[in-house]
Structure 1
Amino acid sequence: MAHPAVLRDLVEQYETLAALHASESESTQVRQRMEDVAYTLCVSTGTREVETALAVARDQLRGAGIRTVPPRR
């Protein structure tokens, strides 16, 4: 299991990149960085899908008493 601070950082990075990806300012660099963070999240949580990785990371952070950005809907 990854350290909670690492998980929190990865979740926050992914959420920020997802917001950029959805905006008009999307670039190849944003998309590549988002894929890299998603991969790292999956490896860090032992999952294969980014949505599952985000859910697992949030659960682990909640268990550690660390707040994160709520999931986008």
Structure 2
Amino acid sequence: MKVVRVLNQAEGIKFGFGERDVVVSESMAIADAERIQGDYPGVYVAVVEVVDEPAGAAAKAATRGKQ
């Protein structure tokens, strides 16, 4: 799953994409974030891949060694 990470306190900065404005935030569209990342790498946003663990595996890892 891809998620948006806001870099350098860029939350709230507006970009004009044609006739629409896009506001930088962690909830913005991935495609918009990827476009900004492509134009300004490492400045405003980073789109990262996050691996989801099954709920059981996460719980098991959290309790490992506590027995």
TM over 0.5: no
Query: Which structure dedicates a bigger proportion of its chain to helix?
Result: 1
TM-score, with length taken from structure 1: 0.28
